[in-house]
Amino acid sequence: MNKAIKRIAYTQVNHRIIASVITVIFVAGCASTPATPVSTEQMALSKAALSSAISAGANEYAPLQIKSSMEKIDGAEQAMQKKNYVLARQLAEEAQVDAKLAEATARAVKAQQATDEVQEGNRVLRQEINRNSN
């Protein structure tokens, strides 16, 4: 019985040591990763997401998110010029997320409006049917 308990305790300690070593390696790897310029791909993705959101009507239905996305793209470009690549990457990614949120918001509002119109049409038809049947 004591051997089984010792084996379980030993296994738990080993798992903790392994997890600690992996965590240290991961943190060291992240800390030693050099700051690289924001890829042109990330900036293109951010700008494409913004363009798509504007095409979806986000200027009208999600103006705050569009403004935020535009400001973050501008901020990313300024950070790139100052060689603050970490900030530039972060802003570019946030701009993309803001633009996608704006697009989703615009599409959701449009869908809700279409649903409301269909429901109103159904209501009018029901009134007509009820009036004609009476």
CB pairs under 8 A, 24+ apart, for 12-21? none
Each residue of 85-130: pLDDT tens digit?
Answer: 999 999 999 999 999 999 999 999 999 999 999 999 999 999 999 8
Say which amino acid occupies 89. Answer: R
* Whether residue 13 has pLDDT greater than 50: no
Distance CA 125, CA 84 (A): 62
Query: What residues does each domain of the chain span?
Result: 1-33, 37-133
Note the pLDDT of residue 10. Answer: 46
Mean pLDDT of 63-76: 97
| Mean pLDDT over the full length of the chain | 82
Each residue of 44-69: pLDDT tens digit?
Answer: 999 999 999 999 999 999 999 999 99
Q: N- to C-terminal Cα distance for the chain?
A: 86
Q: Which two tokens stand for residue 78?
A: 């300024």
**CATH code, 37-133:** 1.20.1270
Distance CA 73, CA 100 (A): 14
